[in-house]
Amino acid sequence: MSDIIAESLLYQNVMESLHSAGELININQNALERLKRPRRSIIVSIPVYMDDGNITVFRGYRVQHNQTLGPFKGGLRYHPSVNLSEVAGLASLMTFKNSLLGLPLGGAKGGVEVNPNSLSKTELQRLTRSFTTELGPFIGPDKDIPAPDVGTDSQTMAWMLDTYSAENGFAQTGVVTGKPIEIGGSMGRDSATGLGVVYIMDKALQTMNKKMSESTMAIQGFGKVGMHAAIEADALGAKVVAVSDVTCAIYDPNGLNIKELVEYIKEHRILKDYPKAQQITNDELLSLDVDVLAPCALDGVIREDNADIVKAKIIIEGANGPVTMSANQMLFEKGILVVPDILANGGGVVVSYFEWVQDIVWLFWTEEEVRSKLQSIMYRSFDKVFEFSQKNQKNMRASAMAVSLMRLEKAMLLRGLAW
C-alpha cells in the first residue's frame, strides 16, 4: 500500500502539506503518524454484464482515511485515470476539509476505473449496482456516506441508494448524498460548491475593504462549479468579465450577461462561437487585471512558470489544486491572497452534510435555510483561517491545514487515539 501511494504526486503533495502544517503547530507526533496513512483501503472487482452479452470486469476503490470526527464522507468518481494512490490522496484531503469546516465527519474517497461516456445508461446502472454491492459491508448512514464526484451524478446516487436499501430490507436515504430531491436530496445541493466559492469571495473582499458590487471577477471553467459561481456572483452585483471552458475563454470588460450565457450553454453546450464577447485564450484569462480570479476547472493551471502573469488581487480555488505549492508561495510573496481549495470549494460537502442530517431526522429545510446555514459555516471557517494567517504571517493554504490539524489533533488526544 505504501509503495503504491508513494507513486502519486497528489498523495506526496498532501503529505508535504501535512508535515509542513504539523511543524507549524508542533503537532503531537503520534497524531501525525495516524494521519499519514488511511485506516482502510478497499479494492474490488466489479463484473458487469454488457449490452453485447459479454462480461467486463472493472476495478473499483474506496479509501477510508480517518473517522476520528465522525462517519467517513467523500465522493465517488468514474474516470479512466482513477487509481488507488489518487483516491488515497483525495480521501486524506476530505479528512482535512471536513475538520476545517467544523463538520462531524471523517474523510473518504472512492471511484471506478472507467470512462462513463463509453457505457450505455443500462451498463452504468449495472456497474453502479454491482459496485454498491461490493462496498455494502463498508458503507452506511453511520459508517461511510458516498456522494457524487467526477463522472457521477444524482442518478448514480439514486441507483446506489436503491441497491443498498434493497439489500438491507428498507429504505435508508442517509447512505448517500447528492440524491434527487424526490428521494431525500437536499434543496440547494446542485449550486452548493459554486455558492460556497462566492461566500468565500465575499469574505476575502471584505479583508481588502471591498464590496461584491464594486468587484470584477474572472472564472476559469464554466461547469458545475464555475457556472454556479458566476450566477451567484452576478446576483450579488459582482461584474463577471470572463469565463472559459475546454474550447475557449470569453471576455467582456463591461461584464458578461450571465443569464444569457447560461441559456446559450444549455442550447450549444460549449462557449466557442458565443457572439457577444471577445474570444481569448485560457492563459489570457489567468492574466486579466481583476479583483478575483476563480480557477474552477483543472488542477495545476497556475504554476511556477506562469504565476508571474497573474494580476488578480485574490484567487479563490474552486477546483482541487489549481495553484501548485511553489506557485502558491510566489503569489503569497507578491501579496496575492490565495484561498485554498480545502476551504474555498467546501460548500459541496457542507450541503452534503446538511442532506445527511435531514435524511436521518426526516425533516427537510427550505433552500433559504440551506443557504443561510451554508453562509454561516463558510464565513466562520474563513475567519478562523484568516485570523491564523494574520497572526502567524503564513499563507492561507498552510493556515487552513494548520487550523484543520488542530481540531483533529485535539479530538484524537481526547479519544485516546494518540498520546
C-alpha cell of residue 416: 485516546
Q: How would you list the strands of the sheet with 337-339, edge to edge?
A: 278-280, 249-251, 239-244, 216-220, 292-295, 314-316, 337-339
C-alpha cell of residue 235: 446576483
**Could you list the active site residues?**
109
Q: How far apart are CA 127 and CA 60, in angstroms?
A: 10
C-alpha cell of residue 108: 473518504
Element (H, E) at 49: strand 40-49
Q: How far apart are CA 21 and CA 35, in angstroms?
A: 12
Q: What is the DSSP string of 309-349?
A: G---SEEE--SSS-B-HHHHHHHHHTT-EEE-HHHHTTHHH
Task: Tell me the C-alpha to C-alpha distance, in Å, between residue 299 and each of 59, 104, 203, 306.
Answer: 24, 28, 23, 14
Nearest to 218 by CA among 151, 301, 334, 342: 301
Nearest to 298 by CA among 221, 196, 195, 193: 221
Place of cell 457572439: 275
Task: Tell me the C-alpha to C-alpha distance, in Å, between residue 93 and each of 128, 207, 327.
Answer: 24, 26, 19
- The gap from C-alpha 257 to its chain's centroid, in whole angstroms, comes to 27
Q: Are 190 and 228 in contact (CB under 8 A)?
A: yes
In the three-class reduction of DSSP (H, G, I as helix; E, B as strand; rest coil), residue 4 is classed as helix
Q: How far apart are CA 300 and CA 326, in angstroms?
A: 11
In the three-class reduction of DSSP (H, G, I as helix; E, B as strand; rest coil), residue 389 is classed as helix
DSSP letter, residue 416: T
C-alpha cell of residue 257: 450577461
C-alpha cell of residue 54: 459479454
Place of cell 452479452: 53
